[in-house]
Every structure is written in C-alpha cells, then in structure tokens.
Structure 1
C-alpha cells in the first residue's frame, strides 16, 4: 500500500462526496485525477514483476555456474604469474659475458639452453588473451570472493 496514493484518493473522494456525487461521480473524479488503474494494466504490472523476478533468479543461477570456472581461472593466472616471476629470477642469473659469446652462469654458448627454454613460455604468456577470449567474460561475471580452498575451519 502506498500511503501517498491513498491520501490523494481520500482527498478526491472527500471533495466528490461534499458535492453530493454518486459512486459513479466519485469514480469519475478519481479517473480525472489519474488515480484509477485499468485491470489490464494491473495484470500487465503483475506479469512484468514476475518476469523481473525470473530474470533475477536466472542471473543468480548463471553467476553460480560461472563462479567455479572463474575461480579456477584466477588460480591458474596466479600460478602463471608465480612461475613467470621465478623464470625472471633464473633468467637474471643467465647473462652473456661481455668479452665472450657464452653464458656467465653455466658457461654454455650464448644464448644458453636454460635461457631459451625460460623465454619461450613468456612469449606465449603475452598472447594468452588471444588464446581464450572468453576468460575475460567469465572473470567479469563471477563475483570476486576470496578463495577458501586452503583455510581451516
């Protein structure tokens, strides 16, 4: 119930009754004040509210469906970042001698095999978004909640 609409209707009805109008006259006064609603618009409003409720339910179920893959994606990305940081540390150890065509760390011919193996995945990581364009959509749809995978209760 909307108190403001009830008070407005009350004022229109009271004014109509003071002029000794019949029930039909009171209804005309309410219609003139735009306070009446047709049965069709009432049923349409009820149907629209039901439709909105169903869309909200569907959105929640979609979010639940997307949460696990998005969380797995976040975990994978964290692991990739961790491995790339470790590769950068190892890569920093392998530098070329200034006066020789060899690696300072292991003495192999430059570029050494270790450095070649480390740099190859990094080149692929820069193009990661091109390999799976849907991962950004999954990440955007999922709620951002902290992982409870390793916590003890």
Structure 2
C-alpha cells in the first residue's frame, strides 16, 4: 500500500464510490480504523480514521431528514430497492413459465404413451380382417381415429378443412383453383380440425399456449414461417 496522502490546499477531493471492508486495529496498535474503498476513478484506496476523525465521519453520515443529501440518498435507495424487486418478480415469472412448459410437455408425453398403448392393443388379427381388441371389421373405429395411416378416411390435421374447401369450390366457384384467401382460411381451419387452441396477435403472430410451434413473419425472407421455441434461444430476426 502506498504511503498515506495528506491533502494540500487546492487538491481535488477524493471521491469514493464503494466501501468494501473495515479493519479495526488491535488494542496494542495505533487506534486507526482502516476502510478499504474503491475511488470514483477505479483506484483502490484506504481511508485511515484515527480517534479524532471517527466522530467527524459519523456526524457527516448522520444525515438529518429533510436535507438535500438525505433526500438524494433516500431516492437512490428506493430506486435500487424497486429495481431489485422487479428483477425478483421477473425471475419468478420466468421460472413459473418454464415450470408450466415442462408440465405441459410431460402431459403430452403421457398422452402419447397412452395412445401408443391403445394402438398396440387395437391391431389386426393375423388370420382375419378384424381388430384383435374388439373384433370389429379392420380397421376398427378406434384405430381409424388414432392412426390415420390405416384409416379409410384421411383424418390427418387439416384434411377435413381441405375437403370442405374442395366441396365449396365445386359448389360455388366451379373447377377454378381456390383463391389465396380461401387457402388461408383452410389453413386456419386445419388447426381447428386438429383441436389446436390458438390465438392471433395484433402483429399476425399465431401461437398456441400448449405448443412450442408458432407462425411468425420473417423480415428477411418476407414470408410467414413456422418456428419453434428452441429456435429463439439463439436469437432470431423474425
């Protein structure tokens, strides 16, 4: 540590921004309190307060209510406290959202496991065109509803909307190709047919509370794109 500095007339005052440590002297040593600080310019400094200096500093710090310094410090403390409270609130909200998403994904995995178990039970007899579980004509209603691959009717998400669009085109517009607006409506109805609960935000962003997939506007591609939550973790220009 450098030698103690004695201020001279005309010297710039030493402004301290942070106090890190206070060291009391041993009883047999010179009674000088050492306070480790960081000056405004980043320098580490030590304030040495003897028995005469301590009461002076204590008097400076005992600010009377109503003084300008007291008001300034009070406002600074309140600002810091409000910022800390807001940070805590945001952390709690983020953790709650993450916990909710984990629970939803666990529920989806549970439902998929249940579906797989039902599909394993409803299978075709090895020696007849009937269902092993309920002896219905293959494919049975349960298998047709849960597994579009074996269904005589296309039950994939959006298929019903596409069929309605084609019927409407034949009845109203004739053999002409569906307009872009009709195709857009069919796309939204595809989500409805798949029992997807979704909402459209003012900027056109389409999302669902129970899915990690979203439809957003890509500024660079100038097209609507399908995105996933994990794609936003690394940043996106959407």
Bigger relative contact order (CA 8 A; separation at least 6) = 1
Q: Please give the TM-score of this superposition, normalised by the length of structure 2.
A: 0.31
Tell me the TM-score normalized by structure 1: 0.44
Normalized per residue, the structure richer in strand is: 2
